[in-house]
Copies of this chain bind each other. A is one copy, B any other.
Amino acid sequence: MFDKKDKSYPIEVVADFLGVNSRTLYYYEKFSLVVPLRRGRKRYYSKQDIRWLEYVRELMYEQGMNLRSIIVLIKKRDDVILGKCPEEVVDCFKNYLMRIRDLQEY
C-alpha cells in the first residue's frame, strides 16, 4: 500500500489503513494527538505519524486506554524529548513498579 518512495499520505488513505474513521483523525488533531504536515490545505501524514497512530490504537484497543491519558503520555514524551525531566520520567516508572509491589500487600 505504502510505496517506499512516498513519504506522506492523505487522510482517507491513513484512516483506511488504520481502520478508523477519517473524522476520528480530525478529532484527534484537535487534541494535538497527531498533527500532520500541510501542503496547501491538505493534510499529509508521515510514516512516523502512522506508526504513532498504530501505537495509539494498540493502547486503546489492547490496554483499554483512553484518549485523555494518552494525551498525558504525549506530555511526558515531550518532556523526554525536550530533556526537561528525563530522571523524573524514569522515576515515574520506578514508582509505578513500586506501586505494583505495594499492591502485593493489598
**A contact set with B: CB distance below 8 Å:** 48-49, 51-52, 55, 63-66, 68-69, 71-72, 76-77, 80-81, 89-90, 93, 96-97, 99-100, 102-106
Contact = CB atoms under 8 A, between A and B. Distances in A.
Contacts of A64: 66, 68-69, 71-72
Contacts of A52: 103, 106
A50 to B, nearest CB: 10
A71 B78 CA distance: 27
Contacts of A100: 76-77, 80, 89
A103 B90 CA distance: 15
Contact of A63 (B72, B80, B103, B104): B72
Contacts of A48: 105-106
15 contacts: A51-B102, A52-B103, A63-B72, A64-B71, A65-B65, A65-B66, A65-B69, A66-B68, A77-B103, A80-B103, A80-B104, A81-B104, A93-B93, A93-B96, A93-B97
